[in-house]
């Protein structure tokens, strides 16, 4: 029987979740789900000077937003906890004793150092292939500092052993560390897990993507209102792709197709435009209830008062295809929910300036007041008939009408917007506008 798949994401809580880290977590999660395995979240918080709680919350929030849920770890618990390195001191002591008994460590000015074996180490990596490291010049590495704190390489290996990790999937920046890690496994006489080092994410100009680069922080996507499924889809394609090179891929299918052997060896180039394009596809095509669910936090934050839930759904349907980022939703829908909307001064200067505009709007109001049916088609027909009889161009009614009922010169299709606003609001708004702008 093959060993059960157990993988982990092991971030250090820095207060920042980089898209590279999120992508590493995602690849681990995809691999676990594809193999009915377990995905562990381990917090590598040996550096106590950092504000742990907030920093850990950033990781939890980011992963959950992406829909990358862990099976063991952090706030979830599990058989192999604790899942915070800061709480695992006793385990590390035990392993240190083992190494000591084997004569593999010694003390040097208060630090504990591991005797480098100085023989070549082979990493047989699932993504990068077979790589031989000549370790003949390798210095003895410190595994514990004089102040008692532990060095990453040692605790990382101990935790992977204790948590029965079968595959270590991490960024290629750790590839050289792996030779050190394998030396530790050998000293402990424990079979190492399989390794898969996934390509780095680079900016379009080829530089390494750092914290300051646009699009590097997962928090930005959350704040700006990307669809999580779109960002997840985009991150899946950073270093991996399905055979047929399709781009919009739902998550169930991605899990089914995901294969570590197919991860690209070459570095992945980050393309925010492509991510934005995918995001737009997702937002425009998702079912209305999902669009509504994702929009709600932004609507609430903007203080828009929604009293009629069905009305909100109709309004959202109208604007859904216009939205590029969910943070823009309040601006697109605000005037549907208040009578106190502002009139865009530029649009007013342009659209309300001509002679006879208000009198035409007055006629439109009368026409609409007497309508038996209130739907987009009837509203359109009535406006066109009125334009003929005035006579004027349809645009000479359409543009002032839009500005009158919404305060702006652009928005969803006018007739659908009038239908959703409803007779009462439309008539009131036309009247108020005529009063306000008639000189
Ligand atoms: N804490 C390490 C990091 O954030 C973990 C590396 C690993 O996955 O082994 O880079």
**Ligand 1 pocket check for 10: Cβ under 6 Å:** yes
Q: Which atom of ligand 1 is nearest to the CA of 24?
A: 8
Q: Is 339 exposed, middle or buried (0-12, 13-18, 19+ CB in 10 A)?
A: exposed
Structural domains of the chain, ranges and CATH numbers in brackets:
6-81+201-272 (3.40.50.620), 88-198 (3.40.50.620), 287-332 (1.10.8), 345-437 (1.10.10.350)
Residue 432: count other Cβ atoms within 10 Å of its Cβ: 13
Q: Which atom of ligand 1 is nearest to the CA of 170?
A: 8
pLDDT value of residue 2 = 74
- Distances in Å between the alpha carbon of 64 and those of 132, 219, 248, 412? 38, 12, 21, 33
Q: Which residues contact 439 (CB under 8 A, 6 or more apart)?
A: none
Task: Show which residues are catalytic.
Answer: 211
User: What's the token pair of residue 248?
Assistant: 């919009």
Decide if 221 contacts 232 (C-beta within 8 A): no
User: Residues 175-182: contacts with CB within 8 Å, 24+ apart?
Assistant: 175/123, 175/125, 175/128, 175/131, 176/133, 177/153, 178/123, 178/125, 179/121, 179/123, 179/133, 179/135, 180/138, 180/141, 180/153, 181/153, 181/156, 181/157, 182/121, 182/123
What pTM was estimated for this model as a whole? Answer: 0.94
Decide if 323 contacts 332 (C-beta within 8 A): yes
Nearest-CA residue for atom 6 of ligand 1 = 10
DSSP string, 64-75: HHHT---SEEGG
For ligand 1, the distance from its centroid to the CA atom of residue 402, given in whole angstroms, is 55
pLDDT value of residue 24 = 98
**Ligand 1 pocket check for 11: Cβ under 6 Å:** yes
Q: Which residues contact 257 (CB under 8 A, 6 or more apart)?
A: 242, 243, 249
Nearest CA-CA partner of 254 in 278, 273, 271, 277: 278
Determine the 3-state secondary structure of 41 from DSSP.
Answer: strand
pLDDT value of residue 51 = 66
Q: Which atom of ligand 1 is nearest to the CA of 9?
A: 8
pLDDT value of residue 84 = 95
| Cα–Cα dist 63/337, whole Å | 34
List the chain residues with pLDDT less than 70. 1, 47-51
User: What's the token pair of residue 227?
Assistant: 């669809």
pLDDT value of residue 354 = 84
Tell me the per-residue pLDDT of 96-117, one tens digit each, with 9 for 90 and over.
Answer: 999 999 999 999 999 999 999 9
- Probe ligand 1: pick from 42, 83, 127, 156, max atoms within 8 Å of CB? 156
pLDDT value of residue 211 = 86
pLDDT value of residue 50 = 57
């Amino acid at each position: 029987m093959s060993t059960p798949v157990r993988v982990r994401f092991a971030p250090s809580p820095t207060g920042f979740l980089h898209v590279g880290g999120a992508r590493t977590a995602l690849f681990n999660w995809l691999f676990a789900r594809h193999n009915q395995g377990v995905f562990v979240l381990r917090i590598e918080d040996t550096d106590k000077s950092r504000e742990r709680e907030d920093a850990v919350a950033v990781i939890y929030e980011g992963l959950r937003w992406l829909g990358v849920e862990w099976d063991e770890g952090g706030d979830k618990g599990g058989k192999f906890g604790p899942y915070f390195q800061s709480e695992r001191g006793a385990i590390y002591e035990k392993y240190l004793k083992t190494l000591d008994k084997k004569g593999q460590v010694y003390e040097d000015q208060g630090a504990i150092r591991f005797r480098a074996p100085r023989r070549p180490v082979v990493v047989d990596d699932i993504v990068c292939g077979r790589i031989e490291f000549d370790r003949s010049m390798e210095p003895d590495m410190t595994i514990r500092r004089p102040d008692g704190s532990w060095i990453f390489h040692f605790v990382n290996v101990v935790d992977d052993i204790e948590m029965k990790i079968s595959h270590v999937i991490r960024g290629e920046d750790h590839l050289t560390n792996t030779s050190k890690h394998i030396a530790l496994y050998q000293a402990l006489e424990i079979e190492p897990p399989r390794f898969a080092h996934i390509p780095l994410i680079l900016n379009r100009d080829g530089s390494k993507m750092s914290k300051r680069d646009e699009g590097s922080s997962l928090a930005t996507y959350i704040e700006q209102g990307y669809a999580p499924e779109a960002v997840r889809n985009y991150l899946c394609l950073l270093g991996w792709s399905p055979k047929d090179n399709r781009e919009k891929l739902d998550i169930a299918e991605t899990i089914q197709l995901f294969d570590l052997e197919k991860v690209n060896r070459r570095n992945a180039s980050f393309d925010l435009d492509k991510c934005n394009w995918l995001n737009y596809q997702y937002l425009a095509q998702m079912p209305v209830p999902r669009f509504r669910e994702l929009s709600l936090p932004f609507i609430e934050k903007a203080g828009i008062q929604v009293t009629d839930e069905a009305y909100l759904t109709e309004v959202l349907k109208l604007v859904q295809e216009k939205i590029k980022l969910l943070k823009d939703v309040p601006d697109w829908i605000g005037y549907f929910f208040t009578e106190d909307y502002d009139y865009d001064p530029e649009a007013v200067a342009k659209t309300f300036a001509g002679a006879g505009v208000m009198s035409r709007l007055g006629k439109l109001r009368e026409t609409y007041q007497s309508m038996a049916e209130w739907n987009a088609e009837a509203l359109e027909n009535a406006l066109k008939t009125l334009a003929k009889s005035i006579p004027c161009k349809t645009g000479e009614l359409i543009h002032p009408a839009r500005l009158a009922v919404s305060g702006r010169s652009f928005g969803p299709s006018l007739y659908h917007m009038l239908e959703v606003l409803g007779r009462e609001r439309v008539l009131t708004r036309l009247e108020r506008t005529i009063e306000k702008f008639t000189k």
